[in-house]
Amino acid sequence: MSNTVQLTIGGMGCGGCASAVENAVKLVTGVESVAVDYATQTATVEGVIEAELLIQAIEDAGYEAMIKAPSKA
């Protein structure tokens, strides 16, 4: 069953950094799609995935990541 994980990314200084994060996440087994937004410093990932593996891949690429807290209405 597919799920969506939203992450806050730290350490991205340019659009190239966003591309590097996106490429690192795409290598994680089970990822179906990834969208990294440099302006909001976030990533949305869909697939059969575990957030911990995504965070590890992003950290291995030299950036910080944590699960994004849901917005409060």
Architecture in CATH for domain 3-67:
2-Layer Sandwich (3.30)
Residues in CB range of 40: below 8 A, 6 or more apart: none
Is residue 44 pLDDT above 70, yes or no? Answer: yes
Measured distance CA(16)–CA(71) in Å, rounded: 27
Share above pLDDT 70 across residues of the chain, in percent, rounded to a whole number: 93
Is residue 20 pLDDT above 70, yes or no? Answer: yes
Is residue 73 pLDDT above 60, yes or no? Answer: no
CA dihedral 50, 36, 68, 10 (to 10 degrees): 110
Whole-number pLDDT of residue 72? 52
